[in-house]
Chains A and B, each alone.
Chain A
Amino acid sequence: MADILLEDLVKTYGDHEAIHRISCHIKPGEFMVIVGPSGCGKSTLLRMIAGLETVTRGNIRINGQCVNRIEPKDRDIAMVFQNYALYPHMTVFNNMAYGLKLRKMTKPEIQTRVRECADLLQIGHLLDRKPKELSGGQRQRVAMGRAIIRKPSVFLFDEPLSNLDAKLRQSMRVELKGLHTRLKTTMVYVTHDQVEAMTLADRIMVLNEGQIEQVGTPDVLYERPETIFTAQFIGSPEMNFIKARIVDQTLVFDIKDQGISFPAPDIELSNTENLICGIRPEHITLHGALDSGQAGIKGRIQLIERLGSDTLYYIDLSHDRRLTIKTHLNLPLQIHDEVYAGFSPDRFHLFDPASGKRLPLSEKIT
């Protein structure tokens, strides 16, 4: 087990700065997931930890030791690549044994290690095969086997599940989590898939354009996103964003012809005219008609997606505004029906559109 400390890490390619001053402490035994859209620098960051990319400025410390100038092989890490990177001319056995042979282990030792590891990953029957004779899921397991067999102090994963089909990805995800619980080794896992991030991580680092948006546990990221970017990125379907303003202690949605207001938080804001209110689709209720005294926004159902357990309603609010609502209730509604959306203000997230930051006291809305 080792901890990884990133100190003001910068990476530039020519004039282009890909990573801007990233600092983070990954604790021993932690499962850290780095998530972000493609091109945000997450793979670069991982490759810098692995030693496959040089560090322009700043330090990487593994177990306290600065590894900036240390070769990948001497960093006591193992990495699983997106395309698996299995040696095509070697059998599964030799793929797994390669690293051990290079570390001058004896033959019987290698034999037992490979056996052990193959049993753990249930690939014992594949040891004599070449990678091209394996299915995607099997290759994935071999790639993982090649990493864990050396018992390194840090595992690095570069989108390891993105080449698998949805079902296999789900089951590998569960296995990976199980593996982490058993091995208790520090893992750094890069993905663009927020579901993978939420399900696997102890903590998530949300990366956008080479900068950290937020680092936190999946719960914190979901309940208390610090920026619009994080709010948008975490959660599926995406959070709804509605323009709003505060007038006379009330929060008013900026939707034409529809007056709806909520008690506003008692905060000093320099700008009360221009706010963004984020509401997750699962926190909006849907009604065919409004009861007396209930407030709601009127709209029309544009599209219904039935996922079995849940149903997604896409509501057209006129003037090109749209709402996504997720509910597990089976409502007798159809496309083009007129409906009302109901809100609970304690689920609102308020953001300042200029800075993209969460407004400090927005959780105090009652």
Chain B
Amino acid sequence: MLKPVHFKSSILPYLLVFPQIIITLVFFIWPASQALYQSFLVEDAFGLSSEFVWLDNFTALFSDPDYLNSFLRTFFFSMATASLSMGFSLMLAVKTDRVIRFATPYRALLIWPYAVAPVVAGTLWMFMFDPTLGLAAWWLKTAGISWNHRMNGNQAMLLIIFAASWKQISYNFLFFIAGLQAIPKSLIEAAAIDGAGRTRQFWSIVFPLLSPTTFFLLVVNVVYTFFDTFGIVHAVTKGGPAGATKILVYKVYNDGFIGLDLGGSAAQSVILMIIVIALTIIQFKYIERRVEY
């Protein structure tokens, strides 16, 4: 329980929270309410007038196969990115947890990618896999794989999954390392004496005990893939080829600012907002009654 603090003057506490309230109002509440309002409007092609249409934008979306397709694509992208990134970072965390010499520098190095902005990360991967310039694309070619993510939709999807996962590995790694260090060494030792080998120890003791961390990261990663991957998609594929990597958050931008369908785009962002609110509620509920070991 936090202790209530008493201020002598009644203005001071309000003054102290004022900046935060302003930021929330200007950068969150206002745009969110604008989006909500816009989602009920249809604007004419020249942007001269708009008409209040209730839920027409939403019903139009859910009857649009393109939107539903994007939904499925996003779901696939999200699951693939989350599992790839979490699986890889868990492996790294387990490996570095066993390292004794130079453990700190290793960990510091592994955290660096998190400091890279999504656009930069995307650009990096784009260059590596560029069909004409990229080193990785050349390697693949010598291995007999023809790589061209500008033509091949599946390869494009694979590339943004890699870029998005790579970016998130550091974050996941950090939480997994913390989770691993919270598991008492004596449990592992007890398992070793009980007769479990390394692999068995991991799957029957370590992995179950990490489950709170894993669940937390799953939610965070899903939120990340749904909302923070715009920069990567924009830098690498621009949603292409032929909409193969047009995930929901990219479609919001594409429909609204390229296609200039402000109402439809606003409706999409409202749906995204509802998803993130739902995920956040799940997260909070779970954390509140989280099993303490």
Q: Which residues of A contact B (CB under 8 A)?
A: 50-52, 71-73, 77-79, 81-83, 85, 87-89, 98-99, 102-103, 132, 146, 150
Residues on B with C-beta less than 8 A from A71 are 192
Distance A227 CA – B37 CA, assembled complex (angstroms): 88
A52 touching B192 by the CB < 8 A rule?
yes
| Beta-carbon contact of A85 and B186 below 8 Å | yes
Complex CA gap A354/B189 in Å reads: 42
Q: State the Cβ distance, B256 to closest chain A Cβ, in Å.
A: 47
22 pairs, A vs B, C-beta closer than 8 Å: A50-B189, A50-B193, A51-B192, A52-B189, A52-B192, A72-B189, A72-B193, A73-B194, A79-B193, A81-B186, A82-B186, A83-B186, A85-B184, A85-B189, A85-B190, A88-B209, A89-B208, A98-B191, A102-B196, A102-B200, A132-B292, A146-B194
In the bound complex, do residue A87 and residue B192 qualify as a contact, i.e. CB atoms below 8 Å apart?
A: no
Q: How many whole Å from B38's CB to the nearest CB in chain A?
A: 48
Q: Which residues of A contact B186 (CB under 8 A)?
A: 81-83, 85
Decide: A73 and B187 in contact? CB cutoff 8 A: no
| Interface pair B192/A72, CB less than 8 Å apart | yes
CB A7 to nearest CB in B, in angstroms, measures 23
Interface SS, B side: helix
Interface residues of chain B, those whose CB is within 8 Å of chain A, are: 184, 186-187, 189-197, 200, 204-205, 208-209, 211, 292-293
Contact B194 A77 (CB under 8 A): no
Assess whether A88 is in contact with B193, with CB atoms less than 8 Å apart.
no
A132 to B194, alpha carbons, bound, how many Å?
A: 21
* Chain B min CB distance to A280 (Å): 38
List of A residues within 8 angstroms of B208 by Cβ:
89
Contact yes or no, A98 B192, CB < 8 A: no
B206 to chain A, nearest CB (A): 11
Is the beta-carbon distance between A73 and B205 smaller than 8 angstroms?
no
Give 9 closest A-B pairs by Cβ, nearest first: A99-B194, A85-B186, A102-B195, A88-B293, A85-B190, A73-B195, A89-B208, A81-B186, A72-B193
Q: CA–CA, A98 to B292, complex, Å?
A: 21
Of the candidates B193, B204, B211, B292, the one whose C-beta lies within 8 Å of that of A73 is B193
Q: A88-B209, A103-B195 are in contact. Are A81 and B190 (CB under 8 A)?
A: yes
Q: If the complex has contacts A85-B184, A87-B205, A88-B293, are A73 and B196 also in contact, measured as CB distance less than 8 A?
A: yes
Instruction: Report the Cα distance A117→B29, complex, angstroms.
Output: 63
